[in-house]
Amino acid sequence: MSDDKHSQDDIYSFAERTLVDNYLKLARVNVVTGEYEFLKKDDALNDPQYDNVTDIYEYIARQVQDGLISPDYARDYYRFSDREYVMGRLLTRGKRLIHSYMRKSPSGEIWMTFAIIAPHDFSKENPYALFTWRDADPDTITMMDAVATLSVMYHKILKINLTNDTFFAVKVDDSEADAISNYTRISEWWKEFCDGGGVHEHDREAYKKFTDIEKLRREFKADRTKKSCRYRRRSGDMYHWVQMDLTPSIEYTDDRQVVILYVKDIHDEYMRELNNLRELENTFSRDALTMLNNRHKFNTDTEAVDNGFITCLYIDVNGLHEVNNLLGHKKGDDMLCSVADALRRYFPDEILYRIGGDEFVMLTRRLKKSEVAELTEKMEADLEKDNYAISVGISDEPDIHKMITCAEQLMREDKGRYYECHGDRRKNREMNKELERILAEKHDVESFLQVISERYAGVYFVNLRSDTIRHIYIPDHFLEQLQQADLKYSGALSLYAKKYVKEDYLDLFNKVLNYNELEEALRQNGVVQFSYQKKDSSFMNLRIVKLDDSSADKDDTLWIFFYDKHHDAAEFDAPALTIG
């Protein structure tokens, strides 16, 4: 034998010994019948209790049933006890099947790699393959750690060959593991999963479009970037939002398009995103006070093509300005909210808007003009119980813009008629009734009185131009004077002075009621203050303050009446009255 021949035999012998030495067990198996013989069986994995088992599939099943395989890996390992599963995988997905798992041994739990290796000419007629068991190498264990980490994030990881329409399950959720194992082509599984109810009916069209394998082949050839699809996947009796990602594998070539599929549950995250979008939409489309649609939404809707609206109701709230001035903006807001609530009660299925400070619009696709008029009349009667009044216009013009313009014009005409019949005196009396009602309720006033009543007798904002009052705290006796003076502050204060103040001090009130001179004094000093004695011999202080120019109304002044228990007018560091 030549030296070259001897060297070649040594290499072959070394290779054979090295390959065999790497395995703890080697078995030659007839994959069709399950008959096998061990070519090698290391003492570390010698299981004498199975020596009489003649079927390799039973051998694998018994290992699982007897608890030799760690429970976390038993299910996947047990698949190899299924004859049809193994045969189908070898015939359709290549000649090597590999699975890593943990099992018990005399020395404790060890990581193993199980592999089935078939020759290139493997077939049903030539069904022999090698079943091998060996220690898992560090790289395999590292890969298992990576898969375990990914498994926390993803409930399905598949390796897909788009070119030949096959796939390998790296990790599959238990709920579909059995079903997916029956398929060899990914396109068949995608279709069956979708048509079988795995995808929400509203997402099926998008899902089918995304998983069109011909389309995916073209897209990955054109652009090797990640493709994603969101859809609702059935989970028990519910559907959860999930995201499917397809990304090229490191093995990817245009001739062998290998991609990795990841599916993860994004339900909670996506629902938060949808809620944020809805809140953002509400910010742009909702009126913050009444929560009706706002002017922006009104403009968008009325510009829409073929909107199909057949009737428009246009509303203006009468007396909002007076309520704001006399009772404060909080009561004005309450008034607007009451009108909005009434619209919701009487037109619950229609589209409602607040398009301005006191203007509302209702658009309907189903109610005729006569039906809207009837409901509006009932709504007006309902609002009158709370002393609220509205002006209305109703139109059913075929063109949306003409319809709105006509309804607005009819509302203006109705408003004109209202103010012809309800002049300023009538309006003031209505506001006065509302003022009485608020005070009678004493929801917040009563607790407020307990704090300030021992010191303050009255606190008002007085507009010197309009001679009107906005109260912070008003006693009942001054309310009577306001009623008699038709809510004019100067008249009410004169009546108060004549009824309650000693004659020696009346001239002081006459001076402050000369608003021109009062304004000049306030301009120079900022504050005017004096003490006076009432007919019951008690002493009071009146302090008048000019508000700064940044206030809501530059003509507003603050009048504070407070008890002078010690008759010490100098208690507040303010100049004496020097008017006239």
Q: How confident is the model at residue 570 (pLDDT cuts 50, 70, 90)?
A: very low
Structure tokens at 352: 């409602």
| pLDDT tier at 42, thresholds 50, 70, 90 | confident
**3 state DSSP class of 464:** coil
- CATH code of 1-136, in short, is 3.30.450
Joined tokens for residue 137: 């190498």
Q: For a pLDDT cut of 90, what percent of the chain falls above it? A: 42
Identify whether the C-beta of residue 77 lies closer than 8 Å to the C-beta of residue 57: no
Tokens of 304: 């829409």
Check: CB of residue 232 under 8 Å from CB of residue 240: yes
Taking each helix axis as running N to C, give the angle between helix 295-302 and helix 400-421, from 0 to 180 degrees, rounded to the nearest 10.
140
Q: Which residues pair with 469 in a beta bridge?
A: 462
Structure tokens at 196: 């079988």
Q: What is the pLDDT of residue 305?
A: 58
The Cα-based distances of 175 to 71, 155, 552 in angstroms read 17, 10, 65
pLDDT band for position 482 (50/70/90)? confident
Alpha carbon 79 to chain centroid, angstroms: 43
Rounded to two decimals, the pTM is: 0.42
Residue 134: strand pairing partners: 113
Range ranked top by mean pLDDT from 152-166, 327-341, 376-390: 376-390
Beta-ladder partners of 241: 232
Q: Each residue of 505-561: pLDDT tens digit?
A: 999 999 999 998 998 888 888 889 999 999 988 898 999 988 765 544 567 888 888
Residue of 293, 398, 313 whose CA lies nearest to 363: 313
Fold of 442-571: Beta-Lactamase (3.30.450)
pLDDT value of residue 449: 47
Please say if the pLDDT value at position 337 is more than 70.
Answer: yes
Residue ranges in 398-459 assigned as alpha helix (H): 400-421, 424-441, 445-452
How far apart, in whole angstroms, are the C-alpha atoms of residue 457 and residue 573? 20
Backbone angles phi, psi at 142, to 5 degrees: -60, -40
Measure CA 226 to chain center: 27
R_g over Cα of the chain: 44
Coil, strand, or helix at residue 111?
strand
Which CATH number is associated with domain 286-427?
3.30.70.270
**Is the per-residue pLDDT at 176 higher than 90?**
no
Q: Which residue has the higher pLDDT, 25 or 393?
A: 393
Beta bridge partners of 495: none
Q: Which residue has the higher pLDDT, 272 or 197?
A: 197
Q: Which CATH class is domain 154-275?
A: alpha beta
Backbone angles phi, psi at 276, to 5 degrees: -65, -40
CA dist 558 and 528 (Å) reads 10
Q: Residue 441 — very low, low, confident or very high, per pLDDT cuts 50/70/90?
A: very low
Q: Give the per-residue pLDDT at 351.
A: 93
Is pLDDT of 73 > 60? yes
Q: Which of 9-13, 119-123, 375-379, 515-519 has the lowest mean pLDDT?
A: 9-13
Asked, colleague to colleague, whether 1-136 and 442-571 share their fold, the answer is yes
Which residue bears the tokens 């996506």? Answer: 270
**Taking all residues of the chain, what is their mean pLDDT, rounded to a whole number?**
83
446 — pLDDT class (breaks 50, 70, 90): very low
Is pLDDT of 427 > 60? no
Strands 456-463 and 468-473 turn out to be antiparallel
> Is the confidence at residue 170, as pLDDT, over 50?
yes
What percent of the chain has a predicted confidence (pLDDT) above 70? 83
Q: How distant, in Å, are the alpha carbons of 31, 185, 543 from that of 166?
A: 21, 5, 91
What is the average pLDDT across 10-16?
63
Task: Please state the φ and ψ torsions of residue 385, each to the nearest 5 degrees.
Answer: -60, -25
Q: For residue 450, what pLDDT is reported?
A: 46
Which pLDDT band holds residue 37 (cuts at 50, 70, 90)?
Answer: very high
Domain ranges of the chain: 1-136, 154-275, 286-427, 442-571
Bridge partners, 169 (sequence order): 158
Q: What is the mean pLDDT of residues 419-435?
A: 56
Do residues 323 and 332 make contact, with C-beta atoms less than 8 angstroms apart? yes
Q: How confident is the model at residue 46 (pLDDT cuts 50, 70, 90)?
A: confident
| Amino acid residing at 131 | F
pLDDT per residue over 105-163, tens digit each? 777 888 889 999 999 889 999 999 999 998 887 777 776 676 666 666 777 889 999 99
Banded pLDDT at 361 (limits 50, 70, 90): very high
Please, what sign has the CA dihedral across residues 415, 418, 423, 428?
A: negative
Q: How many CB atoms lie within 10 A of CB 453?
A: 12
More confident residue, 403 or 237: 403
How do strand 539-546 and strand 556-563 relate by DSSP bridges? antiparallel
pLDDT band for position 59 (50/70/90)? Answer: very high
